[in-house]
Structure 1
Amino acid sequence: MAEVPPALSLAALPAGLQLATYFVDSGRVVPGLKVDPDGRLRAQWWPLPAAGDRELLAAHLTGDSLEEQQQLAESLADAVDRLVRQRLEGSAAQALRSASRHRRGPPALPQAWLAALEGPDPHLAATADLAAEAALVTGLHQWVREGACGGGSLQLCLRLHEPTSPRLRRWPVELLLRSVIDPSLMVPLAAFWAGESPFPVDCFEEVLAQLGLLTRLAPELGGLLEQQAPASLDLEEGALLSLLRQRVSVLDEAGFGLLLPSWWRHGQRLGLRVNTNTNRRSSTNTPAGDGGGLNLNALVSFQWQAVLGDRPLGKAELASLQKAAAAKRSLVRLRGEWTLIEPNAIASLLRHAGLEGDASGTELLHANLGLSRLGLPDDLPLVGVEASGPLGELLGGELHSRATPIPTPADFNGELRPYQERGLGWLVFLGWLGLGACLADDMGLGKTAQLIAALLADPLEAPTLVVAPVSLLGNWSRELQRFAPQLPVLIHHGPGRFRGTAAAFKRQLASERGKGKPAPVLLTTYGMVSRDLPLLAGMGFGRLVFDEAQQLKNPYTAQSKAAAALRGERRIALTGTPVENRLSELWALMQLLNPGLLGSLRQFRDQFALPIERDHDAEVAARLQRLTAPFVLRRLKSDRGILPDLPDKIEQSEPCTLSNEQASLYQAVVEELLAAAESSDGIERRGLVLAGLTRLKQVCNHPAHYLADGSALPRRSGKLDRVEELLDTILDAGEKVLIFSQFAAWGERLRAHLQGRYGGEPLWLHGGLTRRVRDAMVQRFAEVDGPLIFLLSLKAGGTGLNLTAAAHVIHFDRWWNPAVEDQATDRAHRIGQRRTVHVHKLVCSGTIEERIDAMIQSKRDLAERVVGTGEQWLTELSTTELREVISLRREALTP
């Protein structure tokens, strides 16, 4: 199925596709039929705007001419039709088309229309029955009009009143008229009929039309049409519930105003709550440990408690419920507010209230998350879990406040900052509770130092295993030697690593410890964990530390499965980007740290990922943040209360113009790419588009990069000219600079060119270097008289390195994920940096780079939720939309 990935913000799409995606994702589309100028019938999917969409549609107009409105309507209809057909491709609708081919004879007109709605050809086969064709077109147009709200000046509203007599239990529904231009102006419809409203009498037809639509959409209100001047109607309880349950969303979509009581909009839930604050002792003792207060595997005794919202129900209220259920009533008044009940479920609720049971901490967490029901029948809502002590703080998200700062350990060779002492206290506290922790501080805030301090403040008998990318092993070794030289450190990597049994390895690590010394720290890489899993999984570590834990974002990879198989008393993940691409990465991280906490991946997708990524549901996003907050500690450098002395970071896009040679090559690649996209589909099309986008980026860098012909570099690229201008200024001031590129071949060409122009030897770090060579480069760059220019591959050098000797960062080509670029930039903008860091992002004006630069700026605020990555989403654009993004514009050319 071809669709825009849910991780991509709508703001990052071309305007036409933004609007179409909005209507399709929200289900506001309707099948239609129109007659082309040549007389052929065309099946088409149309958008179905509601009254609340007026402002959204108006925002896409630059003027108010009828011609422009017509153009917007036509382009939106075409985009919606194309997007719906893409999403239907390969779906169950294909089975319908296949089945229709087995029918004998030509399909009937309605069947032909249905087939054309999801087939590659939208046109219906010509028939001789012109009258039938005209009738079908007219009927469909009428059907669509009946489901849409008119665009008049008045809005018909419904206000629900409570019964005047509890015995009669009849619910008055009053009709009102509200001005669309001034929503504060609203009068009873009765005043309008009596000529006592500010609205003109020539609105009668508009009001009558809305009344007709109202009664068609909500038959429960049909009695209004029996009145000479419809103004109000009393509903029996059954009709009222039918109106509220089945018609509210339909009426709202159709543009009617709904003034409903708060108990319906935000009513408190009636259900059962788990209460662990019972006098009965737990089935098992609380596991031993320094924290002693909580282990998710321990059984906890609880009692089922009937509640309304967060308040338990008393005996009198339970009796009222029982009486209402016996009378088959669905509405009962409790605590001065009407409450909706299911009469058939009340007996079950009363039967469960007061019953006792046992559950593990994990099961109670699942119940609080809505991922488990603890055996409760499906017809009874499980409202939540009430607990005290550490479990209550965990369920209430209060662990951060309970975790008190721990002063810098006496044997820590350095001084922790206040926010780091708070992080240390949090790490130790969660470790005592037997819970996994994700320290997700912004890049450069000293996650490594806080972890090393935790090794000293919370010593364990068994060794600590630190798993990190190979490029960071040297950094870990140096940091451990710097902050905690008393800790024995071993590196499990390379051909000389230990190759015996797990038992023999344990004995070797024990011998390294020695009498009176702390447990050793074993450093290894993600690749080694996968390769030597039988050895490492049999060890049983005191603490597992996963550095740059975003490496484990895909739970299906071999290294993620290997990491999950390791055994350790404590589990800690370190990452500056807990969610880099999509929410499934957060699930993978939590699954590693606290297995089963967020349920299965399927449950997580249904309850969280889809509502947040697809529907942009802010309430669900806030709920997920609350649920994971106890396990994720994230602080940002932008908060001056965290790091008041960190220098500023000044980021700017550096516009570059294409040379004539670049412009010619760029245009040729665009034409080739569009032709390939037009003539292919599916996986083949996506592959061709990705390859074409890579070629466009290479052209923007330099003609020699794209041609790969080894030709000379000077004076042929606007980007290279701009880099030389920047370097002339930076190097003249004696300052150092980092230059990032995602292309290794281009990095090698650039290194040779800069060496010839400026002398010296620019450093060049890429994925093909050994760990020892990388470490030597980092050390050389840190030296006062070391090289001034450090070229780095974005993937090999974008994480983990401390390069604060540089005060300038240049992104030669763009990686279209702001989180990845930020990680690279923060090799320089981190603790230890004393100067303002200047970040230069090179962007070729008038090209795809300029469009993408604007797009990622508009979606940067989503980095904490879901961030689109790479160019993959561009492969899903239609050829027309792709042309809009990549076409060369006049400002790209050198004057």
Structure 2
Amino acid sequence: MSSDCWPSSPPDGVDDGSSPSPDETFLVGFVIVNVVGLRHYQGKISGREMVGLVRESWNPHDENAIKVLNMRSVQVGYIERSAASVLSPLIDSHLITIEGLVPKPPGRGNSFKIPCQVHIFARIDEFESVKLAISMGGLQLISENNVSFTLSEAMAVKEKKSTSAEKSVDEIFKLLDLKLSNKGLAEALEPPKDMIKSELFSHQKEGLGWLVSRENSYELPPFWEEKNGVYMNELTNFQTDTRPEPLRGGIFADDMGLGKTLTLLSLIAFDKWTHQANSSGDIDDEDGEEMGEEESIALLSKKSKRGRGSRKADNSKKKRKSENLSANKRGKRPVFDKFSSFEPKTTLIVCPPSVFSAWITQLEEHTTKGTFKVYMYYGERTKDAKELQKYDIVLTTYTTLSTEESWDKSPIKKIEWRRVILDEAHVIKNPSTQQSRAVSNLNAKRRWAVTGTPVQNNSFDLFALVAFLKFEPLSMKSLWNSLIQRPLAQGDEKGTSRLQVLIASISLRRTKDKALIGLPSKTIETFFVNLREEERKVYDQMEEEARKIVKVYISDESVVRNYSTVLSILVRLRQICTDLALCPADLRALLPPSQIEDVKNNPTLLQKLLSVLQDGEDFDCPICISPPTDIVITCCAHIFCESCILRTIKRTKPCCPMCRHPLSESDLFKAPPESSQTTAPEGSSSSSSSKVAALLKFLSASRDANPSSKSVIFSQFQKMLLLLENPLKEAGFKVVRLDGSMNAKKRAQVIKDFEVPTPEGPTILLASLKASSAGINLTAASTVYLLEPWWNPAVEEQAMDRVHRIGQKNKVKIVRLIARDTIEERILQLQENKRVLARKAFGRKGQKEQREISRDELSALMNL
């Protein structure tokens, strides 16, 4: 289960001053402290500016260090030690978050220090203890009932004031919204036909036009304006005489199955074709003058159509040349980005392992042989950066980049890439993980975050994408929290409207319901299954027992500390809904004890925890909020990725991030490797399961109606896939299986086998929900069965769209099997809340956002 299902504090070592979730925090007040060490760092402050405050617990000179960054993420100095010694323990205890603002630039001759307002946020029930700690530490807290409170320059305070000479934050966002409305859509483009052999749909051509226009933009990034040769960021007041780099890239968020991969290959091809045309002089006019963007692209598009007719140019060539020369005289470069021999040419594509083979397949299907030189940077790989730069495309995985993040000699880190494309970019939804840091630290001219599900759990998922894109200043977490996250989470409509404007300025999203490609229809049916008497009896007993335990945790606010126990409870309740055979007989014994217990002295407890992990695949490591790799169990019964927990206990106080139990490496226990079992456990049977009985009825009726139709059955429990094989084979179905224990080569073979037409080929694919939810094509099937609801609706939708996508010729039917009067019905409501949030982020106007998932949702899940 994802730890997003209740508020949890980030672990030590990955904190940057935003410890408590901003959805629960309010302004306590501010303190005025000094930023010191200015002369030792490059960062400059030129006016009233927001600054980033980053907790640096691993600093060898001061364990309480808080470094100060300007809004270009360049270090200015440190908070003075006396103040940091008071604030850092409160940050480390997850009691406060802090935001900084320098009210005025340093005075002449003062190169040593500068005053800074540090605004302190906390949960309401912690206000008094925070105030007491600050007072006892010798700092003067200026709170709302203090006459000096109005001197605060923070947005949180200024927005409460009725008048201001400056534009308010919302006025700034409204101006950006107006600018976007007046701009209109980019013109559709054709890719070069000698490189891309597939015909693009109209929405893909429009998408290509948008991608090309973003990549070749010379506009100032959003929120920047120029006055008398000085560039100022309106949100932070940061000023510089150096023109900010254009924001070349964005979020390509078309719905799953709309052909984003082909559109991106067309972008790379169009760019390469442009380079070749530039190199041969094809896009200079007869007088040797460089063309503007519109003329250059029109000519390229005309050539790429190979005699099928060119696009009409709206303006005369003379006028366009005049406008471009005029732009040059005003100090602005031509909009079209002409290559030079020094320009990087290589595109880095980063994707999950499950999507790797899909990129290879798409390259083979859509590009002319010899168009691109492609290198697979995966497994055995070169260490020579110059070797990689010989290729047009380098394909790698998030795991590979994460592994090399600590390698000084990694060739990936030495290269300036022409563009970096993150496929399935929602993988980096937690910006504190090593893989998120690895991709954000890449050196690239252009950056693309590509995902059909940009919002999976909450609006903070978008921050990680904004940080990757280097969208200053909102790539600074403290500013994102202040302007976006906190208003959103507290139900302030300003937060929703700001998020919508922000996303509109950097993203493109089209959905299937706009009938862009004429896909066959998709219907979703929810079939409620009544549990049989034995199942109902076991479920009710288990839920009653579980309800008592969770109720205690909620009342004494120990949910996070007892994370693994709650995980066990929820997994077992859901397993009963699917099949009793998933659960051992002694269900009560499966619940770990409510008190911290040392696993070293209790091998039985260790085995229970392992059984929970191996049965379910939707558990996330609480540190990286991603499926765990190299699973480790602590002596206090909490579960993490090995690299996450080792890094945490080495960089900070050696204790468990969940319960603060002291930890050393000797207190960590490796989980045994995943079972490679390929048949159902001996003696097991699913014949008594209500859901399996209902599923067999559906499948039999479908076969009677159309013997050649194929179906995909998704489950999140790998054991369930094994249990289903025998009943299905006994009913006369040919079955293949696809799950997380298989390597990429085996998965590709299973998909190939499934595509073989009936009667020779199989009619049923048993698929692990998570392993099959991204990047694969299952259009051979036309019916999808979901055996259980997933916590995250985006994962379910990804799985459905493996079938309902470009290439599907038949109507698609989705059947969700839900156990009536159980936790599964409540999960459906939780899913709907998340869908509403995702729709609002990409909408234009919306009402109050649903509060982020909290203890209230946990109460609802347990029917308290």
Measured against the shorter chain, the TM-score band is 0.5 to 0.7
**1:741 positional shift:** 0.9
Partner Cα separation in structure 1 for residue 492 and residue 546 of structure 2? 36
C-alpha change, 1:841 and 1:454, in structure 2 (3 Å) is same
Pairing 1:528–2:393 present: no
> Which residue, 401, 423, 430 being the options, matches 2:207?
423
Aligned match of 2:753 in 776, 780, 784? 780
In the TM superposition, what are the counterparts of 1:675-694 in structure 2 within 5 Å?
Answer: 675-680=548-553, 681=556, 682=558, 683-694=560-571
2:188 paired residue among 385, 394, 405: 405
CA contact (8 A) 1:3 1:876 kept: no
Residue 573 of structure 2 is aligned with which of 696, 700, 703? 696
2:590 pairs with 1:616: no
Q: Distance in 2 between matches of 1:453 and 1:3?
A: 37
**CA contact 1:657–1:718 (8 Å) conserved in 2:** yes
Question: C-alpha displacement at 1:874, in angstroms?
Answer: 5.8
Moved more, 737-746 or 543-552: 737-746
Of 884, 887, 894, which residue of structure 1 is paired with 2:863? 884
Note the C-alpha offset of 1:628: 2.7
Instruction: Tell me the amino acid that sits aligned with residue 736 of structure 2.
Output: L
Equivalent residue number for residue 763 of structure 1 = 736
**8 Å contact kept, 1:741–1:794:** yes
Partner of 1:729: 701
TM superposition shift of 1:759: 4.5
Q: Is the Cα contact below 8 Å between 2:709 and 2:781 reproduced in 1?
A: yes
* C-alpha distance after superposition, 1:367-422 (max 9, x if no partner): x968xxxxxxxxxxxx6599xxxxx9898225962521112432211111111111
Describe how 1:15-164 pairs up with structure 2 within 5 A: 91-93=126-128
Structure holding more helix per residue: 1
C-alpha contact 2:791 2:830 (8 A) present in aligned 1: no
Q: Tell me if the contact between 1:408 and 1:415 (Cα under 8 Å) persists in the aligned partners.
A: no
Cα distance in 2 for residues equivalent to 1:400 and 1:491: 38
**CA distance 1:826–1:653, shift in 2 (3 Å):** same
Larger radius of gyration: 1
The answer to whether the 8 Å contact 2:355/2:776 transfers is yes
| Fraction of identical pairs, as percent | 31
| Secondary structure in structure 1 of the residue aligned to 2:198 | coil
In structure 2, the residue corresponding to 1:458 is in which secondary structure?
Answer: helix
Deviations 1:597-625 (A, max 9, x none): 41411111121111112x33334312221
SS of the aligned residue for 1:396 comes to: helix
Q: Is the aligned partner of 1:718 residue 2:602?
A: no
Q: Distance in 2 between matches of 1:465 and 1:265?
A: 46
Aligned to 1:669: 542
2:264 maps to 451
1: CA distance between counterparts of 2:513 and 2:364? 30
> Could you tell me which amino acid in structure 1 is paired with residue 458 of structure 2?
R
Shift of 1:774: 1.1
Map of 1:280 onto structure 2: none
- Contact map agreement 1:843 1:853 (CA 8 A) in 2: no
Corresponding residue number in structure 1 for 2:357: 474
Structure-1 separation of matches of 2:561 and 2:535: 27
Give yes or no for contact 2:714–2:767 (8 Å, CA) kept in 1: yes
The answer for unaligned runs of 5 or more in structure 2 is 9-23, 28-121, 135-158, 218-245, 276-343, 586-680, 843-848
User: 1: distance between equivalents of 2:514 and 2:265?
Assistant: 24
Amino acid at match of 1:700: C
Which amino acid is 2:690 matched to?
G
Alignment of 1:170-249 (within 5 A): none
Say which of 805, 808, 812 aligns to 1:833. Answer: 808
Contact residue 654 and residue 842 of structure 1 kept, 8 A: yes
Match of 1:751 among 714, 720, 725: 725
Please report how far the alpha carbon of residue 851 of structure 1 lies from its aligned counterpart in structure 2 after TM superposition.
2.9
- CA–CA separation in structure 2 for the residues paired with 1:866 and 1:384: 19
> CA contact under 8 A between 1:608 and 1:620: conserved in structure 2?
yes
> 1:648: which partner in 2?
521
Residues 266/564 of structure 1: CA separation in 2 closer, same or farther (3 Å cut): closer
Distance 1:872 1:474, change over 3 A: same
Per the alignment, residue 797 of structure 2 pairs with 822
State the Cα deviation string for residues 697-733 of structure 1 (Å, max 9, x = none).
1001111012287544243111011111111122332
Residues 591 and 597 of structure 1 are in contact (CA less than 8 Å); yes or no, is this contact kept in structure 2? Answer: no
| Mapped partners of 1:369, 1:431: distance in 2 | 28
Cα 1:88–1:610 shift into 2, 3 Å: closer
Q: TM-score, normalised on structure 2?
A: 0.55
Please report how far the alpha carbon of residue 593 of structure 1 lies from its aligned counterpart in structure 2 after TM superposition.
Answer: 1.5
Contact conserved, 1:442 with 1:637, CA < 8 A, in 2?
yes
TM-aligned CA deviation for residue 670 of structure 1: 1.4
Counterpart CA distance in 2 for 1:538 and 1:564 is 14
One-letter amino acid of the counterpart of residue 740, structure 1: F
Are 1:582 and 2:556 counterparts?
Answer: no
Q: Deviations over 1:739-763 (max 9, x none)?
A: 1111122222223442343343x22
**Matched letter for residue 716 of structure 1:** S
Counting matched residue pairs gives: 517
Aligned to 2:772: 797
Q: 2 CA distance for matches of 1:677 and 1:407?
A: 58
Deviation at 1:768, TM superposition (A): 1.7
Distance 1:763 1:483, change over 3 A: same
- Give the 3-state SS of the residue equivalent to 1:428 in structure 2: helix
Question: What secondary structure is seen at the aligned counterpart in 2 of 1:739?
Answer: strand
Secondary structure, counterpart of 1:638 in structure 2:
helix
1:50 paired residue number: none
Larger RCO, structures 1/2 (Cα 8 Å, 6+ apart): 2
1:6–1:622 CA distance, 2 compared to 1 (3 A): farther
For residue 815 of structure 1, what is the amino acid of its counterpart? Answer: W
Helix, strand or coil for the counterpart of 1:397?
helix
> Cα gap change, 1:861/1:676 in structure 2, threshold over 3 Å: closer, same or farther?
closer
Q: Counterparts in 2 of 1:297-312, with a 5 A limit?
A: none
Q: Which of 380, 390, 414 is equivalent to 2:198?
A: 414
Letter paired with 1:528: T
Paired amino acid for 1:475:
A
Helix, strand or coil at the partner of 2:702: helix
C-alpha separation between the residues in 2 aligned to 1:494 and 1:658? 47
Q: Work out whether 1:844 is the aligned partner of 2:828.
A: no
Amino acid at match of 1:718: S
Asked if structure 2 preserves the Cα contact closer than 8 Å seen for 1:582 and 1:866, the reply is: no
- Asked if structure 2 preserves the Cα contact closer than 8 Å seen for 1:400 and 1:426, the reply is no
Equivalent residue, structure 1, for 2:438? 562
| TM alignment of 1:491-510, pairs within 5 A | 491-498=375-382, 500-506=383-389, 509=390
Q: Residue 399 of structure 1 contacts residue 630 of structure 1 at CA under 8 Å; is this kept in 2? A: no
Write the deviation string for residues 329-383 of structure 1: whole angstroms up to 9, x where unpaired. xxxxxxxxxxxxxxxxxxxxxxxxxxxxxxxxxxxxxxx968xxxxxxxxxxxx6
Write out per-residue CA displacement over residues 15-46 of structure 1, whole angstroms, 9 at most, x where no aligned residue. xxxxxxxxx9999xxxxxxxxxxxxxxxxxxx
Whether the 8 Å contact between 1:612 and 1:620 is mirrored in structure 2 is: yes
2:712–2:783: 8 Å Cα contact kept in structure 1? yes
**Cα gap change, 1:707/1:769 in structure 2, threshold over 3 Å: closer, same or farther?**
same
C-alpha distance in structure 1 between counterparts of 2:733 and 2:457, whole Å? 40
CA contact (8 A) 2:687 2:727 kept: no
The alpha-carbon distance between structure 1 residues 398 and 493, as it changes in their structure 2 partners (threshold 3 A), is same
Given that 1:492 and 1:522 are in contact with CA atoms closer than 8 Å, whether structure 2 keeps it comes out as yes
Question: Is residue 26–residue 123 contact of structure 2 (8 Å, CA) maintained in 1?
Answer: no
